[in-house]
Structure 1
Amino acid sequence: MNISPTNPAQNPLFQKIEKVRRQRKVQDTHINLAHGSGGKAMRDLIDDIFVSNFDNPILSQLEDQASFDLTSLMQQGDRLAFTTDSYVVDPLFFPGGDIGELAINGTVNDLAVSGAKPLYLTCSVILEEGLPVDTLRRVATSMKLAAKNAGVQIVTGDTKVVHRGAADKLFINTAGIGVIPEGITISAHNLQPGDAVIINGELGNHGAAILIARGELALETTIESDCQSLYSLVQTILKVCPKVHAMRDATRGGLATVLNEFAFSSDVGIRLYEQSIPVREEVKGICEILGLDPLYLANEGKLVVIVPGENAEIVLSAMKSHPAGKDACIIGEVIPSPPGVVLLKTAFGTERIVDMLVGEQLPRIC
């Protein structure tokens, strides 16, 4: 008897397989090499940790790939967006999030800033021998909740186990696909002089939260990561301004890196206004102590939006009406020259160049 690809849940054989699958439990307290062997231990791990959390009709078939109905995809837009990212953050759990939530939201946001509706994700994990099973279970539960909040399904994946010391506890790779609606063309090549630069809130919170969570500094703060899905906020923006010129989430390299990439791609200049850029006092303090620049600190819930100047106020108002954009600010403008250069007008009225980040301020922040 074959499982129906259209509605497998109604097939008696499928229901029997599901009943057996849900009874499989991991008996070990820590990950061992058998969990990556392809045998029963690995099957129990997948069923108990991943399938039980990510359960959906596509994933439950447990094929080597996920298949989709192209007709339904084409009804939602005329192009696919496809992205992938890997997550090696240290520590795994930090104020405001963890590696699982980070993996889901990071990939969802990479799709969302193209204007796409995120739909399906993959999840591949590399596990170090000796990782507590409860740690993996906690991460998978976090991924489940983040995926639910973002409205996406995790539909396929992979599990590998490496010898103790060959990795650091847990690495995650997620890839995602989404559909871009007709008429939406968001690109780093679209900037025009007169465009406004808008950010949806405070910069550097994620990078600062990770730094404090590592316990290398004797500091106590209430800073939490800004890790969150931005899809809903992007939709709010596009409703009032479908002609957004460029949009990107400011993760590694922070705001400065994103804007340098924009300026270079469009061959224009960008001028920022220091007094308009929102940074928490605690983040400023940490940066002063360590000689860091908040413009380069990583974020996991901040997006940079470039819109025509005449649309700036309506976009800003729409962003402020959304929880993820309540602290949005217009922080700069696109200028014709110098091309490929980002300038910062300081509080003293002088200007300095905000160059591309050289090296890495804080490694393993995502």
Structure 2
Amino acid sequence: MTPSLDKKAEQHPLFQKVEKVRRRPAKVRDTTVTLAHGSGGKAMRDLIDDIFVKTFDNPILSQLEDQASFNLAELATLGDRLAFTTDSYVVDPIFFPGSNIGELAINGTVNDLAVSGAKPLYLSCGFILEEGLPIETLREIVKSMKIAADNAGVKIVTGDTKVVHRGCADKLFINTAGVGVIRSGINISAQNLQPGDAILVNGYLGDHGTAILIARGELALETTIESDCQPLNDLIDKIIEICPKVRALRDATRGGVATVLNEFAMSSEVGIRLFEPELPLREEVQGVCEILGLDPLYLANEGKLVLVVPKEYAETVLEAMKSHSAGENSHIVGEVIASPPGVVLLQTAFGTERIVDMLVGDQLPRIC
């Protein structure tokens, strides 16, 4: 029988040589990111396969479609509503004490899902790379993202990569979006606060903002403080298991605890009173704030919850939080009051009170 044209083509030496090249494991041979890595050609495919697909490897991502698809029936077994969020990360510097931009991107999006009462499941990642970024720097950040995703129990299932000319970005920016499923019967909202409710936080405040400030090297200050960047979904699971009537949850990132509590107070039209002696602050953070004239209540955090629960649950929830590694230094820091509505008050150690208003401007830009 005469071989088909396809069979003849497959036997051609040039065809076999091309196929051998195609089967060769993708490997980025450049030492820095070039514009070719964003061109859509072989250099871009090698970058994606070698750094992203190989590291984030999972059955959904490995299909290499333009989107990730999920089984709706399986999602429905976890809850009755979807939670969807997105965030972009432009932190400067991209490496800082205790973490880096990649780990921050994963944990930040996981936490944004978790504070709604959702179980975080899937993430997307979009990378804006500056021409000249060292490939090993990118590889290190991507590996840290994989570790962070595994620790949080989520999968990175789709993404995108763009390269811009040198000087048009600052090394790299990352966008992450996340999908989770909210448990049935859970209703967590900033509009739920009622007078008498207790306000808790899960540890020291202002660590991330202070770590970034020192890492920038613009000040002659030295400290061992590290960012508090961590996933909070496991801690939140434990809280909800003990107290399904959680009123409100928020991770205190940009604008810090003060901004979160002002948003709560305005949304629920109630007042909030904080107790200054109960606020967990490291001496180093207090010292940096005193030197620079900053208020630690406005400093960013990347692993801290602000939690509001009915008063009768407060001590039980506090005990449970302290038993978790992400909440060992938890405190009850305040209470919800009827008036003045929309106002946050701080009761000082001297018994006086002052208003803690919304942050005007930005104490520290590019903090996340």
| TM-score w.r.t. length of structure 1 | 0.94
Question: 1:128–1:169: 8 Å Cα contact kept in structure 2?
Answer: yes
Closer, same or farther: CA 59–21 of 1 in aligned 2, 3 Å: farther
1:185 paired residue number: 187
1:149 shift after superposition: 0.3
1:292 paired residue number: 294
**The 10-residue stretch of structure 1 (211-220 or 194-203) with the greater mean CA deviation from structure 2:** 211-220
Closer, same or farther: CA 280–20 of 1 in aligned 2, 3 Å: farther
Match of 1:301 among 295, 300, 303: 303
Q: Please list the CA deviations of residues 89-136 of structure 1 after superposition, one character each: whole Å capped at 9, or x if unmatched.
A: 010111110000000000000000111000000000000011001110
1:37 paired residue number: 39
2:95 paired residue number: 93
Q: Tell me the amino acid that sits aligned with residue 332 of structure 1.
A: G
Closer, same or farther: CA 87–46 of 1 in aligned 2, 3 Å: same
Q: Tell me the amino acid that sits aligned with residue 281 of structure 2.
A: V
2:154 paired residue number: 152
Query: What SS does structure 1 have at the residue aligned with 2:326?
Result: helix
Superposed counterparts of 1:1-366, under 5 Å: 23-366=25-368
Query: What SS does structure 2 have at the residue aligned with 1:313?
Result: helix
Closer, same or farther: CA 20–318 of 1 in aligned 2, 3 Å: farther
1:218 shift after superposition: 1.4
Output the CA distance in 2 between the equivalents of 1:176 and 1:26: 28
Output the CA distance in 2 between the equivalents of 1:351 and 1:238: 32
Question: 1:199–1:331: 8 Å Cα contact kept in structure 2?
Answer: yes
Q: Tell me the amino acid that sits aligned with residue 248 of structure 1.
A: R
Question: 1:243–1:307: 8 Å Cα contact kept in structure 2?
Answer: yes
1:31 shift after superposition: 0.5
Matched positions, count: 349
Question: 1:76–1:179: 8 Å Cα contact kept in structure 2?
Answer: yes
Aligned residues: CA RMSD: 1.1
Q: Tell me the amino acid that sits aligned with residue 284 of structure 2.
A: E
1:217 shift after superposition: 1.3
Output the CA distance in 1 between the equivalents of 2:322 and 2:155: 29
Larger radius of gyration: 2
**The 10-residue stretch of structure 1 (238-247 or 212-221) with the greater mean CA deviation from structure 2:** 212-221
Q: Tell me the amino acid that sits aligned with residue 143 of structure 2.
A: T
1:220 shift after superposition: 1.5
1:51 shift after superposition: 0.4
Query: What SS does structure 1 have at the residue aligned with 2:193?
Result: coil
Question: 1:21–1:47: 8 Å Cα contact kept in structure 2?
Answer: no
| TM-score w.r.t. length of structure 2 | 0.94
Question: 1:22–1:52: 8 Å Cα contact kept in structure 2?
Answer: no
1:28 shift after superposition: 0.5
Provide structure 1 residue ranges, at least 5 long, that are not aligned to the other structure.
1-16
Q: Please list the CA deviations of residues 271-320 of structure 1 after superposition, one character each: whole Å capped at 9, or x if unmatched.
A: 00000001100000100111100000000000000000111000001101
1:38 shift after superposition: 0.5
Closer, same or farther: CA 197–20 of 1 in aligned 2, 3 Å: farther
Output the CA distance in 2 between the equivalents of 1:240 and 1:119: 22
Question: 1:22–1:48: 8 Å Cα contact kept in structure 2?
Answer: no
Question: 1:270–1:334: 8 Å Cα contact kept in structure 2?
Answer: yes
Q: Please list the CA deviations of residues 159-216 of structure 1 after superposition, one character each: whole Å capped at 9, or x if unmatched.
A: 0000111110000000000001101110000000000000000000000000111111
Provide structure 2 residue ranges, at least 5 long, that are not aligned to the other structure.
1-18
Query: What SS does structure 2 have at the residue aligned with 1:275?
Result: helix
Closer, same or farther: CA 163–317 of 1 in aligned 2, 3 Å: same
Q: Tell me the amino acid that sits aligned with residue 119 of structure 1.
A: L
Output the CA distance in 2 between the equivalents of 1:228 and 1:163: 33
Query: What SS does structure 2 have at the residue aligned with 1:324?
Result: coil
Query: What SS does structure 1 have at the residue aligned with 2:180?
Result: strand
Of all paired residues, the percent bearing the same amino acid is 77
1:266 shift after superposition: 0.3
Output the CA distance in 2 between the equivalents of 1:191 and 1:86: 29
Question: 1:22–1:47: 8 Å Cα contact kept in structure 2?
Answer: no
1:333 shift after superposition: 0.1
Output the CA distance in 2 between the equivalents of 1:43 and 1:243: 48
